[in-house]
A and B are shown apart, each in its own frame.
Chain A
Amino acid sequence: MSTRDLVPILVFAAVAALLPVFVTANTWLNFAVFTLIICLAAQGWNILGGYGGQYSFGHAAFFGTAAYATAILQVRYGVNPYLGFGFGIAAAAVVGWIIGALSFRSGLRGSYFALVTLAFAEVFRVLANASEMTGGAAGILIRLDVRPENFQFASRATFYWIALALVVAALVVTRALERSRLGAQLVAVRENESAARALGVDALQVKLSAIALSAAITGAAGALYAQYFLYLDANIAYGTWISVEALLAPIIGGAGTVFGPVLGGIILHGLSEFTKSLVGRIPGVDLVIFGILLIVVVRFPPREIPGLIRMWRGRR
């Protein structure tokens, strides 16, 4: 990976880091933090789904595992939140590897793999809903104690910068992956797994590495969510909402590209906020307009935003 590869990422980081200087309203900073959390989850999905072609419908399993690990370690065992955050990410990676080992070893691909990941997330949701360790249906609450050593900050801007740092780190990791041997092998597996195998690529190992990395990044989003909102229950942590958010953003923004998930996340959430402000106080209408816009974006091929830009450029 050359310095040139990093220039767009650094430019994005610099511009985004300046946001809290100009936008001081907490309404917008809160929106920005949540959007970045979704972008991070989507970046995780993009490694496995975008580069590896393994479409997962169950990234909630990784998001929730890291979120619960972070919360449980703090609340039940008094572990330092930063350490808990790290453990959470590691736990998500391990869960990702296990799910990968079970499904890829069985030769599951395409829609079968998607369904299995969905099933895993649902199993986790049911277990978390029934287990005492996770607080069950009542959920788990991280004690509000706003101090930096508790990973809780009085200013939303601080959280914004932490979320941004993680998104930028994920961008760098994705760029590094793109330029690495593993990245090339992953793309080869996506394009034609049998051909890749014939060329000596250990497809199973490549996919396992990808799912572990993917789970770790999505897990970071889950741990960040837990630390930001300080409350989790089974439907938040393992609900289908996050699986859908994680896959929708890269699909809209451009799956298998470095900036696709971030672009998609910002567009999706920006659009949602825009439609909300457009229709004012009539609840639900913004969701209808948002849905229609989404259909319009997804309906017309090429199906993602970079594709549309390329198409417009081509016409001119």
Chain B
Amino acid sequence: MPTAFTASRRAVLLGAAATLAAPRIGGAQPAAIRLGILQPVTGALAQDGEYGRLGAELAIQEINATGGIRALGGAQIQMVFGDARSTPEGGTAEVERMNSEGVVAIVGGFASPIALAASQAASRYDLPYVVDVGVSDAIVTRGLRNTFRFGPGFGAVTGAALDNLVTLNNAAGRPARTVVVVHEDGLFGSGMARLMQQQLPQRGFEILETISHPTPARDMSNIALRIRALNPDLIIPSSYYAEFVLLSQTLQQRRIRPKGIYCVLNGAASNFRFVREFPQAANLVMDVNHWADPRKPRTAELRRQVEATNRFWLYNTPLNYSAVMLVADALERAGRADRNAVIEALAATDGRFTRHIMPYGPTRFVNGQNQSAQAVNTQVIDNDIKVIFPTDFADARPVFPWPSI
């Protein structure tokens, strides 16, 4: 009697083999994970945004080339890029688009205003947001569970700047006792100057004068002459790129040579553009800023990759590279491309996350802020930017006080 289902032994075996193989075939090609990269690549912050994007791209390339996200069957990461156009509303609009395109997390923002607005927009969708650079302390004090910052905030940077200055000075036999603070007259510079006025006398430094200048400033001659008259041991400038370049050039032209120039979050002193274009003015300038860990082999490889494309090695690249690696690590631990699971995994990140290249200790997030994040002291030595402090991460010894010519 014919039956509805007739099958030979071979067909049954083939079918069974196919059924067994199916998940493996499916597992070999898991759906790509979409990751939002938000950077301002047009407008006033375009240069920083481009370097941030580069860092994220290099991290994604590396993750995909080394087997993707293993916990998700080797899923590849697909970048969904958004141009924040250097404005908070531009950043918000891109977050909305990225959300509609189903990204699992967003990395970037660069400037604090963009990071503040974009992370807030992302919080509406429980969309994990990892800030790359923005240092405003307000970013991680709003109670947003989706927002994380791998790098240090303003408070941590300035605290470290003062402590490191004392250590540096003491180690050199306290050559610096008198200081002139030069600052731009906005809140960034004024706030920094106020902090210095409060803290430096407690740490044994005498502030001879605090000199403010507007941004933009076209001439620094008067400030340079005043500095010459005061003859301080140390100059502490808090200015943006153009103004600091102008100041350091004017000091050099007028042969004003203190025992050191010590910057904090300076727009130029940790920027290879300044070092390449004005090597003499940049020589031996110290800064406290974000910088990659020079001891990690991957840092040197990444720097070679960046410089091979005729681009400068700026801190935006390693910060974004590390932030993308952080998300990849969270995805591995979450085991699924689910936003809430990624938020929980990000919050639980610990010292086992070592795929980053920043000079930080074991990662630990409290209210979204990585507690081990720190700025480092850099110094321009032999046309290169070297880390001079903390000594654990240093690749050069500080040249302080500056040798006389």
Contacts and interface: CB of A to CB of B under 8 A. Distances in A.
Given A26-B100, A283-B83, A138 B144 contact: no
Give the most central of A25, A129, A154: most B CB within 10 Å.
A129
A136 B96 contact: no
Interface residues of A, number: 29
B39 to A, nearest CB: 9
Contacts of A154: 124
A139 B81 contact: no
B41 A25 contact: no
B100 A287 contact: no
A193 interface: no
A31 B116 CA distance: 19
A224 interface: no
B100 A27 contact: yes
Contacts of B42: 283-284, 287
A93 to B, nearest CB: 25
Interface string B104-120: 00000000110011001
A141 B93 contact: no
Interface string A117-131: 000000000000110
A137 B188 contact: yes
A141 B88 contact: no
B34 to A, nearest CB: 14
A282 to B, nearest CB: 10
Contact of B188 (A138, A230, A283): A138
A147 interface: no
Contacts of B138: 138, 141
A229 interface: yes
Contacts of A146: 124
A192 B309 CA distance: 62
Nearest to B143: A144
B87 A236 contact: yes
A231 B144 CA distance: 15
A27 B96 contact: yes
B4 interface: no
A213 to B, nearest CB: 26
A137 B142 contact: no
Interface of B: 41-42, 46, 81, 83, 87-89, 92-93, 96-97, 99-100, 112-113, 116-117, 120-121, 123-124, 136, 138, 142, 144, 185-188, 190-191
Interface of A: 25-27, 30-31, 34, 129-130, 132, 135-139, 141, 143-144, 146, 154, 229-231, 233, 236, 241, 281, 283-284, 287
Given A34-B93, A138-B187, A231-B116, 15 more contacts: A25-B100, A31-B93, A129-B187, A130-B185, A136-B186, A136-B188, A137-B187, A137-B188, A144-B120, A144-B144, A154-B124, A229-B88, A236-B87, A236-B113, A284-B42
The 4 closest A-B pairs by CB, nearest first: A136-B187, A137-B187, A137-B186, A283-B41
29 contacts: A26-B100, A27-B93, A27-B96, A30-B96, A31-B93, A34-B89, A34-B93, A132-B187, A135-B187, A136-B187, A136-B188, A136-B190, A137-B187, A138-B187, A138-B188, A139-B112, A139-B113, A139-B136, A229-B89, A229-B92, A231-B88, A231-B113, A231-B117, A231-B120, A236-B88, A281-B81, A283-B83, A284-B46, A287-B42
